[in-house]
Amino acid sequence: MEMINVALPKGRLGEKVYDLFERAGYPCPSIREPNRKLIFENEEVGVRYFWVKPSDVAIYVERGAADIGVAGKDILLEYSPDVYELLDLGLGKCRMAVAAKVGFRENPASTLRVATKFSNIASAYYAEKCRDIDIIHLNGSIEIAPILGLSDVIVDIVETGKTLLENDLEPTETIVQISARLIANKSAYKFKNKEVLALKERLAELLEKQL
């Protein structure tokens, strides 16, 4: 049997994703053992899992190191990897939003300073509004930027809204809703079509039952 190589996002989302795959008929019990291994396989069901950094899943899949993977829509929009998006798994739901200090009033006459990890998403959003902006690319703790006066607003992921609230920031606009997506390498989709489609169908059936 052809093995399917699956890149899973390491962390909380990845655990939920693995649970889903397990229930869909692709278990790999050794993955639950407490150790630091990154590769697990179950030859019986033809699956091999890799734990990778969530923002790297699409790279593994695009280059064929993994046949399929699970990546957030935020990563897919930001990096536009050349992969197929097969299914919305409905996990890791959050939104990409603009946020600012509570009470911030935008001056439409001046360039808006936008701090973000998602430079492409932010640029596209403001380009559509014909808004002149200055992107300040950061790698994390974005919420600090407006507090320290580094930026006027931020573009970031909001899940519960707690991080914003606890830092005296508030969401001002929603850019797009985000959730985890099943993605496939383009040639694996062709050459392992039967296996990839079978896996997708079993996940889709399981998700429908949950509704």
Using CB under 6 A as the criterion, which residues of the chain lie in contact with ligand PRP when the complex forms?
Answer: 140-142, 156-163
42 or 179: whose CB is closer to ligand PRP?
179
Estimate the share of the chain in helix, then strand, then coil, as percent rounded to the nearest 5.
Answer: 35, 30, 35
96 or 196: whose CB is closer to ligand PRP?
96
Rounded to a whole number of angstroms, the minimum distance from the CB of residue 195 to ligand PRP is 32
Q: What is the largest CA-CA distance in the chain?
A: 64
Q: What is the number of helices (H) and of strands (E) in the chain?
A: 8, 11
Rounded to a whole number of angstroms, the minimum distance from the CB of residue 157 to ligand PRP is 4
Rounded to a whole number of angstroms, the minimum distance from the CB of residue 141 to ligand PRP is 6
Which residues lie below 8 Å from residue 61, measured CB to CB, with a gap of 6+?
Answer: 7, 67, 68, 69, 71, 81, 83, 183, 184, 185
CB 181 within 8 A of CB 88: yes
157 or 206: whose CB is closer to ligand PRP?
157
Rounded to a whole number of angstroms, the minimum distance from the CB of residue 103 to ligand PRP is 20
144 or 204: whose CB is closer to ligand PRP?
144
